[in-house]
Amino acid sequence: MGAEVVVEGLTKSFGKQAIWRDVTLTLPPGEVSAMLGPSGTGKSVFLKSMIGLLKPERGRCVINGVDIVTCSEHKLYEIRKLFGVLFQDGALFGSMNLYDNVAFPLREHTKKSETEIRRIVFEKLEMTGLAGAEKKLPGEISGGMRKRAGLARALVLDPQIILVDEPDSGLDPVRTAYISQLLIDLNTQIDATILIVSHNINLARTVPDNLGMLFRKELVMFGPREVLLTSDEPVVEQFLNGRKRGPIGMSEEKDTATMAREEAEAAAGHHDGSPQEDVRGVVPQMQPSPGLPERAGERRRKDRVMRILHTLPPAAQEGIIESLSPEDQRRYNVHPHLVAHHARPNEFGEAVPNQHHGQLPTEQIARIPGAQPPRPGPYGPPREQGPGGR
Amino acid sequence: MLRQTGNLFALGLDIVRGLFQRPFQFREFIQQSWFIASVTILPTALVAIPFGAVISLQFGSLARQLGAQSYTGAGSVLATVQQASPLVTALLVAGAGGSAVCADIGARTIREEIDAMEVLGVSAVQRLIVPRTLAMMLVALLLNGMVSVIGVLGGYFFNVVLQGGTPGAYLASFSALAQLPDLWVGELKALIFGFIAAVVAAYRGLHPAGGPKGVGDAVNQSVVITFLLLFVVNFVITLIYLQVVPGKLD
């Protein structure tokens, strides 16, 4: 399972200009998280601070018990081996061909033989759809291919944490969807913690388990995707719908006078070309490709979210419950349109008595079955043992 | 300004520390040595010939006026070996070698290659900068030797052919003033110049200010800064040397 990343009170500024302050969040292990935000809010800076390329002034960022803000350089290089990072442009080494680029981390950090390196490199190139292009130099291929090659290189050391800086920049919507699918499949296969930094709404709505947003030098929110997708926060609403009307202006923030004028213009019937419909709301999440097993991160997240369900805003609670399959609703003993539902014993109820500890009244706590019910995966029956198998 | 100086020294220390860290990047070292040698050898040779000639002409005419023709060879050898060749080396190592290294590192920095390398858990200083620094030092050392030889040959040619000096006198006075420590200190200077040029080039390359234009500015600045530093360092080393090592005639 991927590593957990705990960020506490992180503050970064360049000279006198604060980039963001007091960012506190936890990337749950093995889940896919995404950080949204208008351009120039320091999303990439946040990502670089998480791997120690930039030093934040205050705060902690703890991975496997090591605080990368204050740890020694030697420790930092060690902990970075847990990371796979995909930069915006792939950041391939221009003087090496794709094969050498992908083989680079293996040659530097492992004592693997050249044949084994070859096997791993071809496997990763295959995975990212680059088989046959291994002899090409980074300058000779398209931006999308560079991105995928960067991803292949980030994956060769089997990272526990994958950071992705704008997977969609410079890509068409179709290729973005393929990259997104690749990330979800990857999370399914190696169960790594993934953080995507992006401002692509479609990706944000369908890919991650958790969503956060940076604006006005602060973390507006971070939590399960349903919380942000159903949020009434004006910034979030404006951003998700891609409207001009709202607190986000051309240069980061709008003053109140501009905002009031826009409101008045809109009230007077001026149509500024912004999309009319509201895309907020919980949409079905992207699933791993058919043939892959169930995503372990998704299962863990469901349990985790149901445990904190009572702390979430009502709209998010409703969204979460509605997005559950009927059998999950039975399993967690929740029903749509009935958030503070009175708990009734159900078929799994007796198995989890100690889940009910706490100060809250029983009826506000969602139930977590201790024993996993036998659930056939959504993609075919579990693999069968062949005849004469061990 | 103070911060920049501090960072420059910090990088210098990092490089020195990186020299002793294993694994040493031997391949990179060889490739870079070859690369730096290939961009510096020809210009150095072309600069060294007129440099030796100028010294020889100037000193030759001066010596003739003072009636010390027999010391022509001695003077030009001394000037070439002790001063001219380290300075020519410095100019070429900074101007040709340093600018090439700075441009290379700068381009890698803005393409985020350096960041990518750091993130892959590989120290860019150890992997890229240390081999380049050693290569610069090695090439500077060898260039210094080459400039000494070419400069003396050039001086000989101009003195004997153009000024009508006698070959025998020129050769005989070779070791009248010059001594072996002059050569050693010349080589030591070249080593130090190579190191300084590499550190400055790497520092400016790793921190270009803002985008592709910044790389151009960084290369420009690295050459200027290196020149300034090298001439100051040359002055200091010469001063110490003249104090410590007695002249041959003393």
Please tell me whether the overall predicted TM-score, pTM, comes out greater than 0.90 for this model. Answer: no
Task: Quickly list H helices, chain B.
Answer: 2-19, 26-66, 72-79, 85-92, 99-110, 113-119, 124, 130-157, 167-172, 174-177, 180-206, 211-244
| 3-state DSSP assignment of residue A7 | strand
Kindly state whether B242 is in contact with chain A, defined as any CB-CB distance less than 8 angstroms: no
CB of A132 closer than 8 Å to CB of A109: no
> Given its phi and psi angles, is residue A85 left (phi above 0), alpha (psi -120 to 50 degrees) or beta?
beta
Nearest neighbour of B113 by CB, restricted to A48, A88, A91: A91
8 Å CB contact of B107 and A85: no
| Nearest residue of B to residue A139, measured between CA atoms | B111
Q: pLDDT grade, residue B87 (50/70/90)?
A: confident
- Cα–Cα dist A189/A254, whole Å: 44
- What does the pLDDT read at residue A363? 58
| Nearest residue of A to residue B116, measured between CA atoms | A91
In chain A, domain spans: 5-224, 296-364
Kindly state whether B26 is in contact with chain A, defined as any CB-CB distance less than 8 angstroms: no
Q: CA A374 from chain center: how many Å? A: 28
> Closest Cα of chain A to B107: distance in Å?
10
More confident position, B47 or A356: B47
- What does the pLDDT read at residue A345? 42
> Closest Cα of chain B to A78: distance in Å?
7
CB contacts of B210 in chain A (<8 Å) are none
Q: Say yes or no to pLDDT of B15 above 50.
A: yes
Element (H, E) at A296: helix A296-307
> How many Cβ contacts (< 8 angstroms) between chains A and B?
54
- Considering Cα of A251, then A255, then A259, then A262, what sign does the dihedral take? negative
Using only C-alpha atoms, chain B has a radius of gyration, in whole angstroms, of 20
- Cα–Cα dist B112/A22, whole Å: 27
Establish whether the linkage from the previous residue to A376 is cis, with ω within 30° of 0. no
Residue found under tokens 């210098």: B12
Kindly state whether A53 is in contact with chain B, defined as any CB-CB distance less than 8 angstroms: yes
Nearest neighbour of A87 by CB, restricted to B112, B122, B123: B112
Please state the ipTM of this predicted complex.
Answer: 0.72
8 Å CB contact of B119 and A92: no
CB of A30 closer than 8 Å to CB of A192: yes
CB contacts of B120 in chain A (<8 Å) are 80-81, 104-105, 108-109, 153, 157
Element (H, E) at A86: strand A83-86
More confident position, B55 or B100: B100
Q: Which of A66, A79, A85, A106 to mutate to test the interface with B (most CBs of B within 10 A)?
A: A85
8 Å CB contact of A94 and B118: no
pLDDT tens, residue order, chain A (390 aa):
778 889 888 888 888 888 888 888 888 888 899 998 888 788 888 888 888 888 888 888 998 888 888 888 888 888 888 888 888 888 888 888 899 999 998 988 888 898 999 999 998 888 888 888 888 998 888 888 888 888 889 888 888 999 998 888 777 888 888 888 888 988 888 888 999 998 888 888 888 999 998 888 888 888 888 888 888 888 888 888 888 877 887 776 677 788 888 888 877 877 777 777 777 778 888 888 888 888 888 888 888 888 888 888 888 888 888 888 888 888 887 877 655 444 444 444 444 444 444 455 555 556 555 544 444 444 444 444 444 444
Task: List the helix and strand counts (H, then E) for chain A.
Answer: 13, 12
- What does the pLDDT read at residue A245? 78
Q: Which of A54, A78, A100, A108 to mutate to test the interface with B (most CBs of B within 10 A)?
A: A108
8 Å CB contact of B123 and A77: yes
Kindly state whether B122 is in contact with chain A, defined as any CB-CB distance less than 8 angstroms: yes
Q: Say yes or no to pLDDT of B92 above 80.
A: yes
* Percent of chain B topping pLDDT 90: 22
Kindly state whether A83 is in contact with chain B, defined as any CB-CB distance less than 8 angstroms: yes
CB contacts of A150 in chain B (<8 Å) are 116
- Cα–Cα dist B158/A276, whole Å: 87
Count of residues making up chain A: 390
- Cα–Cα dist A314/A316, whole Å: 5
Residue type, A182: L
Task: List the CATH code of the domain at A5-224.
Answer: 3.40.50.300
- What does the pLDDT read at residue A386? 45
Strand-pairing partners, residue A195, are A33, A163
Q: Compute CA distances B108 → B103, B125, B161, B215, whole Å.
A: 9, 13, 50, 10
- What does the pLDDT read at residue A194? 92
Angle between helices A296-307 and A173-190 (to 10 degrees): 80
Kindly state whether B113 is in contact with chain A, defined as any CB-CB distance less than 8 angstroms: yes
- What does the pLDDT read at residue B250? 64
**Across all residues in chain B, what is the average pLDDT?**
86
- What does the pLDDT read at residue A350? 42
Using only C-alpha atoms, chain A has a radius of gyration, in whole angstroms, of 23
- Cα–Cα dist A85/B120, whole Å: 8
Kindly state whether A14 is in contact with chain B, defined as any CB-CB distance less than 8 angstroms: no
Kindly state whether B111 is in contact with chain A, defined as any CB-CB distance less than 8 angstroms: yes
Kindly state whether A107 is in contact with chain B, defined as any CB-CB distance less than 8 angstroms: no
- Cα–Cα dist A281/A302, whole Å: 18
> Closest Cα of chain A to B23: distance in Å?
9
* A 154-173: CB under 8 A from B: 157
Pairing of strands A32-36, A17-27: unpaired
Residue type, B35: F
Q: Which two tokens stand for residue A234?
A: 């004006």
CB contacts of A48 in chain B (<8 Å) are 115
Q: Which two tokens stand for residue B103?
A: 């441009």
> Closest Cα of chain A to B133: distance in Å?
19
- Cα–Cα dist A10/A57, whole Å: 8
| Nearest residue of B to residue A52, measured between CA atoms | B119
Nearest neighbour of A91 by CB, restricted to B111, B123, B127: B111
* Closest of A173, A117, B67 to residue A181, by C-alpha: A173
Q: Which of B7, B120, B128 to mutate to test the interface with A (most CBs of A within 10 A)?
A: B120
* A 138-157: CB under 8 A from B: 150, 153, 157
* A 240-279: CB under 8 A from B: none
| Nearest residue of A to residue B113, measured between CA atoms | A91
- Cα–Cα dist B155/B173, whole Å: 13
- What does the pLDDT read at residue A364? 56
